[in-house]
Every structure is written in structure tokens, then in C-alpha cells.
Amino acid sequence: MDQLLTGMHFDYTNPYDLETELLNQDYGRKLRELGPDHPHVRVLEEELDRRTHQGSDTKPLDSSIYNLLEEFVAYRLAQLPESKREEAAAKMWRALRK
């Protein structure tokens, strides 16, 4: 539903409130700086999940899938010019959080 109401026709491109979007950005920075296993990163991830997946009935992915996706994304980002990497990472993150 949020995808239907967040298009250019509604002049609203983000389904999250400002606080959640800032938390999302902080999570992305900390994830890159500290890695996925750092306690601070896990706390931020849990908070984002709580805010963005309320009532979700999806099952967690196997950790090997996460590892494969992480390797793929790292490879693809490394191929981009540095000036485009952060923008691409932010766009991917937004797409994954929907």
C-alpha cells in the first residue's frame, strides 16, 4: 500500500517518517563502519525492523542468503565510481526496507 501512495503523483516519495528515515541513514553508516555483527548495528536494525515491519508475517532468511547478498552488493558497489557508491547504496537500502 505504501508504494501506491508514495509515487510522484502524490508528491511524496518516502513511506517513512523523518525520524525513521534518519534512523535508516544512521543504520547504513554504522553498518558500513562497524559491520553487521556490532551490537550497536544490531540494536539499530531491530529498531528499524520494529518500525517498518509491524505485523509482517515474513520469515527470516537463512544467514547464507544474507552472506551471498552482501557479497553481491559489495561487488557491484565496488564497480561504481566512488561518487555514485553512496547514492546507490542509499537507493538499495530504501528498496530493501519497503
pLDDT digits (tens, 9 = 90+) for 40-79: 988 998 888 887 765 445 555 667 777 788 888 888 888 9
Asked which of 28-32, 55-59, 89-93 is least confident by mean pLDDT, the reply is 55-59
**Please, what is the average pLDDT of the chain?**
75
**What band does 12 get if pLDDT is binned at 50, 70 and 90?**
very low
Q: Tell me if 45 sits within 8 A of 27, measured CB to CB.
A: yes
Task: Give the number of other CB atoms < 10 A from CB of residue 90.
Answer: 13
**In 3-state terms, the chain is what percent helix, strand and coil (to 5)?**
70, 0, 30
- Structure confidence at residue 59 (pLDDT): 57
- Structure confidence at residue 2 (pLDDT): 45
Report residue 88 as a C-alpha cell: 546507490
